[in-house]
Amino acid sequence: MSSSILVITEHNQHRFSKSTFRLLSMAREMSGKTKHSVSAFVPGRISSKALKKLTAYGADRIVLVENGKLDSFSLDIYTHVVSSIVLKENAGIVFLNNSTSHQELSAALAARLRAGCAINCTDVQKLKKGFLVSKYMYGVKAKTKFKLSNKILIAAMHTLEFKSIPSKGAGRIVKQIIPVPDSQVNILERNIDKSHSPLSRAKVVISGGRGIGGPDFSILEQLAKELNGAVGASRSAVDAGWRPASHQIGQTGTIVSPDLYIACGISGANQHLAGIAGSKIVAAVNKDADAPIFSKSDYGIQGDLFEIVPCLIKELKAFKSRQNH
Amino acid sequence: MPAPPVRQVSTVEMNADSIEKAFGSALSSKKDQWIINPHDEIALEEALQIRETHGGTVTALSFGKPVTEAAVRRALAMGADSGVLIMDELAGNYRDFMLVAHIYRLYLETVGVDLILTGSKSVDGQSFLVGPALAELLSIPCISMVVNQEINGKMIRCRKSTESGEIIMETPLPALLTTAGGLNTPRYVTIPGIKRADKKPIDVLNLSEIASNETISDRLMPEIVSFRRQRNKRSLKMAVGKSSEEKVRHLLDMLHEKSGIL
């Protein structure tokens, strides 16, 4: 039996993540060249409606382990179950999303399976012996190519650049029964931040820095609402206690790569710039015409953000209504 | 009954820019901002704070070339009790995180440890994976992106941040934590701190002392094929206008026309 490509899906029981579809489409395309079969692994319980949608993306096999312990991510038991699926599916390449949890899972899987591993990947090619992996390093400041000669490759893929393309050939659904141990880590409480869409996946990110002057980020939130985006903060805003650490953008926080990044009242420290370098378009609003952020921006407005941002919200509303007519 | 002291190991990695500079291939020509990977500095600060509360010891552990001693020395100056530097005798500058995890495992299996702390990110973008890989190799639990922790006897309770919120979890020691950015503000290194550090021991071990040749050559090392710096592709266009309204309209027009956004 020749080896397969295994995609580890991400879902919330009702819906698969967008990156899951992008990963599957990419795996499908790759399998066309390499003649590998594609398996998709679905951990935990999933609605039949969501599963039906997954079948439209061309996995040859959809492998389920319908155990409630896998409904939410837990590193130790996921490592246990996914590594056993990798072996059962005879996977030569395992694709994961580039989310924090999947990056960690990649590392733990590689440790257990003695596999090669790379994260922040943009492309994987199968060589006669081993793999050629393209990936980002130093945030997105450098792009590198690596050769890995392990038998199995675990790759966490930067999926924002991939498209999701439905494909023919609905997969066979395979239910696996694998004993799932209890996690060594007990979850006591879970607080989902509903207002906050994940920064690392957002198409539009609005962020505020010292120039905001306090914990009230409401004008940025209104702007984000207009643009369907997420709100982040610079390190100085987080250090000042205005925003939680999970909202910090930069080399020591979340690295973002949206289509549009708008920096408001952020001077542009190096560590912040490194965290936004992957953005398609960067726009900056700052009082200080010499702020370093401007040198790394595509568009800039010099002015008081408390004047510019409300105006931007107003003009965006007008702009949208013009577009609709 | 007083709580037992906590034997901690904090891994310190030299900041990637400093490593590269030492080998003549620095990505950034700017002055170094950090000697230690800034995320590891946060991990070390947390270890020092845990020691202040619970007693015990903090060992700074690193794997590297002679230049890495500066990072271990800095960890001692911040307040670590002792340092261990495992000398990398392998050719090449690229250090695979799996190899590093494997080497730390070999060392840590020979000493008793209750808590291992590592930074949750590294500036070169991959070596923070040492934490979860090391926990897996040692078969101990790993809690990542910790924003708050509390040790109670042999249990540790952590608040961790995730992409969609926060989770509070608990696990028995020994355990490995990776610390989130913003968990604390690492202390400044003081002159007396530097002087004290000079008197503290650094245990320099050769790789061959802790690992046999077979275990190392057994590891398949990734090979760098190309390394390309991404250029600054941005050329600034300032929005112009007499009023805020005019500037904003100009900006929206540019965003709409030039980039198809909106």
Q: State the DSSP string of A170-231.
A: PPEEEE-----PPPSSEEEEEEE-TT---GGG-SEEEEE-GGG-SS--HHHHHHHHHHT-EE
- Quick one: DSSP state of residue A240? T
Contacts of A234 (CB under 8 A, 6+ apart): A207, A208, A209, A210, A248, A249, A250, A263, A266, A269, A272
Read off the tokens for B130: 């040492």
What per-residue confidence (pLDDT) applies to B214?
59
pLDDT at A270 over 90: no
What per-residue confidence (pLDDT) applies to A81?
97
In 3D space, the residue among B177, B207, B142 whose CA is nearest the CA of residue B9 turns out to be B177
CA distance A319 to chain B (A): 8
Burial of A159 per CB tally in 10 Å (0-12, 13-18, 19+): buried
Average pLDDT, chain A: 88
Q: Which residue positions in chain B have pLDDT lower than 70?
A: 1-3, 15-34, 90-95, 122-127, 163, 182, 213-220, 230-232, 259-262
Q: What is the DSSP string of B132-155?
A: HHHHHHHT--EEEEEEEEEEETTE
Share of chain A above pLDDT 70, in %: 96
What per-residue confidence (pLDDT) applies to B225?
78
**pLDDT band, residue A146 (cuts 50/70/90):** confident
Q: Which residues of A touch B92 (CB under 8 A)?
A: none
Cβ–Cβ gap A251/B226 under 8 Å = no
What per-residue confidence (pLDDT) applies to B127?
66
Q: How far is C-alpha B185 from the geometric centre of its chain's CA atoms?
A: 14
Compute the distance between CA of residue B255 and CA of residue A280 in angstroms, rounded to an integer: 12
Q: Which of B133, B182, B254 is nearest residue A245 as measured by Cβ atoms?
A: B182
CB B125 within 8 A of CB B95: no
Share of chain A above pLDDT 90, in %: 53
Alpha carbon distances (Å) from B180 to A94, A208, B11, B133, B194: 27, 20, 15, 17, 26
The partner residues of B60 in beta bridges, in order of sequence, read B10, B83
For B43, list phi and psi in degrees, rounded to 5. -60, -45
What per-residue confidence (pLDDT) applies to B213?
61
**pLDDT band, residue A21 (cuts 50/70/90):** very high
| B166 inside 8 A of chain A by CB | yes
Is the preceding peptide bond at A43 cis, omega within 30 degrees of 0? no
Rounded to an integer, the average pLDDT of A8-37 is 89
**pLDDT band, residue A212 (cuts 50/70/90):** very high
The partner residues of B159 in beta bridges, in order of sequence, read B148, B168
* Locus of tokens 């991959």: B126
Q: Which of B164, B169, B227 is nearest residue A198 as measured by Cβ atoms?
A: B164
In 3D space, the residue among A186, A184, A159 whose CA is nearest the CA of residue A99 turns out to be A159
Interface test with B, best of A83, A140, A146 (most B CBs within 10 A): A146
**pLDDT tens digits, residue range B85-108?**
998 776 555 567 888 898 899 999
Cβ–Cβ gap B222/A147 under 8 Å = yes
Cβ–Cβ gap B125/A139 under 8 Å = yes
Compute the distance between CA of residue A118 and CA of residue A158 in angstroms, rounded to an integer: 11
Cβ–Cβ gap A107/B30 under 8 Å = no
What per-residue confidence (pLDDT) applies to A105?
96
What per-residue confidence (pLDDT) applies to A266?
94
Contacts of A253 (CB under 8 A, 6+ apart): A232, A235, A238, A245, A247, A275, B181, B182
**pLDDT band, residue A193 (cuts 50/70/90):** low
Read off the tokens for A312: 């931007």
CB A198 within 8 A of CB B164: yes
Q: Where are the beta strands (DSSP E) in chain B?
A: 6-11, 56-64, 82-87, 115-119, 142-152, 155-162, 165-172, 175-179, 202-206, 223-229, 237-238
pLDDT at A97 over 50: yes
Cβ–Cβ gap A252/B248 under 8 Å = no
pLDDT at A18 over 70: yes
What per-residue confidence (pLDDT) applies to A192?
75
pLDDT at A257 over 90: no
**pLDDT tens digits, residue range B141-150?**
999 989 889 9
pLDDT at A61 over 50: yes
Q: Which residues of A touch B125 (CB under 8 A)?
A: 119-120, 135-139
Q: Where are the alpha helices (DSSP H) in chain A?
A: 18-34, 48-54, 75-88, 100-113, 218-227, 235-239, 270-276, 305-324
Compute the distance between CA of residue B206 and CA of residue B196 in angstroms, rounded to an integer: 25
For B223, list phi and psi in degrees, rounded to 5. -120, 125
The partner residues of B167 in beta bridges, in order of sequence, read A190, B160
Cβ–Cβ gap A141/B222 under 8 Å = no
10 Å Cβ neighbour count for A147?
A: 17
Q: Is the ipTM here above 0.85? A: no
| B138 inside 8 A of chain A by CB | no
Rounded to an integer, the average pLDDT of A143-169 is 85
What per-residue confidence (pLDDT) applies to A120?
86
**Region of poorest pLDDT, from A13-17, A24-28, A75-79, A321-325:** A321-325
Burial of A112 per CB tally in 10 Å (0-12, 13-18, 19+): middle
Compute the distance between CA of residue B39 and CA of residue A136 in angstroms, rounded to an integer: 19
